[in-house]
Structure 1
């Protein structure tokens, strides 16, 4: 998690948080189109009593419907990979079994292969992998092969020419439309990223960014600190969700710039808090991206910022994700030790979702382990989820780390984590991210309630 909300946006499934909404919409639309087209052809060929073709198109509709359901339930990555494989296999098989060209009618189903290649390229831009390259190459090679030959299986059920006439026009139009739609989606995605990147630079210069604060509490429910979370208030569009701009900032290399602004604002906030008897006791956690942390001189810039605002460095906590060690463990440890020597503490954020290793966890000078919200959500859904959370808490405590669970949304989740031995908590159950003034009011309210509680107890004893 990098400068984003520490509990999930309930309007979206948790595992789609970092995905482009435009990409999700495009896939949903494509799957629905394929579902409808498959059902239409199933009805047509069923009416013609060509049952092999009818059931083949029913299978196509099932693939489209399954992909749509998986996307709607939040399994976007599984839907993308599964759909690519299924559609590629179906297109090649259909060309071999049904769609061999005749003397009068050409083959047509292979026109969908470039569409599959384009989809794989879109996914490659989103998350580079060898698998996507293989899908792209296979789709294009298959397209060249079927365009250049009349090859079909000897036992193929060749579509009659009178039926093929209608299919040629329909599939040509649909494949071309899907190809154009894919090109347009890629264009919008790339231009959208560029626009957001330019607007983000302007936002930093013109004070459009804000910090919100989400409370962190101990096992007695007392607020002991907060996590600083970034918000962007666009002058025309209003508040832009972090899911829409944080990934773009990471891809465009803006995280050091934005992260530097967040760190400066956080230290300034701590300086203001230090003048209040209650707020001065709170810690403030700031997320640091791997790219920001690995910038040369990062540790010196942090120390200079702390000195500039004359804050107590022990009140500042830097949260790092496991991806920070990609560049090497030893340089990371060296930077962390410099900052730890000044009193700044570290928390390992989103533990278990990246490159988890007991070896590096033992070596990194962290004082806190944050259990990722996905594990918290799964803890009450299955025995294996509960066992995993218990193991993480026990491991953290054995390593003498403070264990904080994030994403707590319900009382049962809180009770379960308490029973596991978790010591600190964060989530909507305790408070949503709010502006500084609202956070101060919340802390004051909790402090007043805490002072009033002993008075009420005394009154009960006297009565």
Structure 2
């Protein structure tokens, strides 16, 4: 079944979810850089022309630097990456320190430019990614240290004798103090709004399982012969607003707030109900079902007993249940992960390594994993259709799966040409919009009625 461009649902693979998050992050960074650029450019040009008007050309040069930082911020907003943020932040820090040195206090007017170091520190702490220790901690501390140095007048002896005219200094001090405090207030207001939105979503997500808002959609998996081998269970959240939310909106929050365990078990319950229904129909009795397991879940000591209880209550054949773990999850604690995987495997379930090729596992680690299937990340397939080297790499990954006695399944198959390419490389299991999009269980059953299914065993 070929997809239409307008019926695509959000994808669930971990790298694509990460890509969506990166795109959202890039938009936020681009907005911050553009806003910063416009502010610096406007302020720099305004003060530059002000000092030119007063004939203080040596002072106007300093604000050319501020305008230059503004231009740099606008230019780097096209890239919208952490390096751009860091470059612009250091540029602003340098300009503020240079102007603060000139802005030495005089009898009637206190120093005021150094106040802008406070919103710079707060903005950095809230804007850089939390994992960026330098941007969120060290750089803000540098700003606060510089603020303290200028507030105590430790560098006043180094101030050049080029103070602005008294009337300009007086108005500038008032304007700087008001603007800096408004910036600090604005930054904390934005942070409070974001935190409030996050807490509200966390509370709503905490009630989602109890309120029956967690839904499972299924995307079929097909063999090269055209026979459907099973499906992957994909989580959705039917938000109280009525919107159906894709995992990229809430999974990270669920993992950070420990709600992922409850949500994951609910997905497993619904998946086992589906398997139980399939087992009562001879035509679907041999279909397998794949369920994603979060690394946070896997490290939970109660997971094995919870999974065993759900399987037992559903009365399903555990050999028809497959758990998927993303390769990147092994970066945290591979030994602990493998131990828990082996315990779960002893219950009868099998394991698949999702998004293979995007994580950190070595071939040595791969050999120790209780994995029977490698799910090849869709990016390899997309690149293989454009580059000969990428096609060769894809072929090697498929070859590795064969050498290790594993099945290779390619995700993101969208065109007949991609399917033929994969078959030519030795891959014989597929998943993607070429065959079917993720769909609710009733739609899946209607779709299965028109498909070739495996013969039941026994």
* 1:63 corresponds to which of 72, 76, 79: 72
In the TM superposition, 1:286-297 aligns within 5 A as: 286-297=291-302
Q: Specify whether residues 120 and 57 from structure 1 end up closer, same or farther in structure 2 by C-alpha distance, changes over 3 A only.
A: closer
Q: 1:309 Cα deviation (Å)?
A: 1.8
Q: Specify whether residues 235 and 90 from structure 1 end up closer, same or farther in structure 2 by C-alpha distance, changes over 3 A only.
A: closer
Partner of 2:370: 365
- Which runs of 5 or more structure 2 residues have no equivalent in the other structure? 1-9
- State whether residues 101 and 150 of structure 1, in contact with CA within 8 Å, keep that contact through their aligned partners in structure 2: no
Q: 1:228 Cα deviation (Å)?
A: 0.6
Q: 1:217 Cα deviation (Å)?
A: 2.1
In the TM superposition, 1:72-151 aligns within 5 A as: 79=81, 81-99=82-100, 100-102=102-104, 103=106, 107-122=111-126, 126-127=130-131, 129=133, 132-149=136-153, 151=155
Partner of 1:75: none
- State whether residues 20 and 244 of structure 1, in contact with CA within 8 Å, keep that contact through their aligned partners in structure 2: no
Partner of 1:435: 440
- State whether residues 369 and 401 of structure 1, in contact with CA within 8 Å, keep that contact through their aligned partners in structure 2: yes
Q: Distance in 2 between matches of 1:174 and 1:185?
A: 16
What is the TM-score normalised by the length of structure 1? 0.80
Q: Distance in 1 between matches of 2:112 and 2:414?
A: 52
- State whether residues 129 and 136 of structure 2, in contact with CA within 8 Å, keep that contact through their aligned partners in structure 1: no
Where 1:295 maps in the other structure, the secondary structure is coil
Q: Specify whether residues 45 and 333 from structure 1 end up closer, same or farther in structure 2 by C-alpha distance, changes over 3 A only.
A: closer
- State whether residues 7 and 407 of structure 1, in contact with CA within 8 Å, keep that contact through their aligned partners in structure 2: no
Q: Distance in 2 between matches of 1:40 and 1:407?
A: 47
In the TM superposition, 1:9-408 aligns within 5 A as: 15-18=18-21, 27-41=29-43, 43-44=45-46, 52-53=61-62, 55-71=64-80, 79=81, 81-99=82-100, 100-102=102-104, 103=106, 107-122=111-126, 126-127=130-131, 129=133, 132-149=136-153, 151=155, 160-161=164-165, 172-325=177-330, 328-380=333-385, 385-386=390-391, 388-408=393-413
Question: What is the total number of aligned residue pairs between the two structures?
Answer: 434
Partner of 2:449: 444
Where 1:445 maps in the other structure, the secondary structure is coil
Q: Distance in 2 between matches of 1:157 and 1:276?
A: 91
- State whether residues 69 and 92 of structure 2, in contact with CA within 8 Å, keep that contact through their aligned partners in structure 1: no
- State whether residues 33 and 85 of structure 2, in contact with CA within 8 Å, keep that contact through their aligned partners in structure 1: no
CA-atom RMSD, angstroms? 3.6
Q: 1:268 Cα deviation (Å)?
A: 0.8
Where 1:227 maps in the other structure, the secondary structure is strand
- State whether residues 95 and 152 of structure 1, in contact with CA within 8 Å, keep that contact through their aligned partners in structure 2: no
Q: 1:286 Cα deviation (Å)?
A: 0.3
1:428-450 deviation digits (Å, cap 9, x = unpaired): 333221111111122222339x9
Q: 1:413 Cα deviation (Å)?
A: 4.5
- State whether residues 92 and 142 of structure 1, in contact with CA within 8 Å, keep that contact through their aligned partners in structure 2: no
- State whether residues 94 and 109 of structure 1, in contact with CA within 8 Å, keep that contact through their aligned partners in structure 2: no
Q: Distance in 1 between matches of 2:313 and 2:200?
A: 34
Partner of 1:76: none
Q: Specify whether residues 181 and 420 from structure 1 end up closer, same or farther in structure 2 by C-alpha distance, changes over 3 A only.
A: farther
Partner of 1:5: 11
Q: Distance in 2 between matches of 1:364 and 1:151?
A: 61
1:283-323 deviation digits (Å, cap 9, x = unpaired): 11100111211222422332332222221222211001235
Where 2:196 maps in the other structure, the secondary structure is helix
- State whether residues 291 and 322 of structure 2, in contact with CA within 8 Å, keep that contact through their aligned partners in structure 1: yes
- More off after superposition, 49-58 vs 250-259: 49-58
Q: Specify whether residues 26 and 323 from structure 1 end up closer, same or farther in structure 2 by C-alpha distance, changes over 3 A only.
A: closer
- State whether residues 414 and 433 of structure 2, in contact with CA within 8 Å, keep that contact through their aligned partners in structure 1: yes
What is the TM-score normalised by the length of structure 2? 0.81
- State whether residues 279 and 440 of structure 1, in contact with CA within 8 Å, keep that contact through their aligned partners in structure 2: no
Q: Specify whether residues 66 and 366 from structure 1 end up closer, same or farther in structure 2 by C-alpha distance, changes over 3 A only.
A: farther
Q: Specify whether residues 182 and 437 from structure 1 end up closer, same or farther in structure 2 by C-alpha distance, changes over 3 A only.
A: same
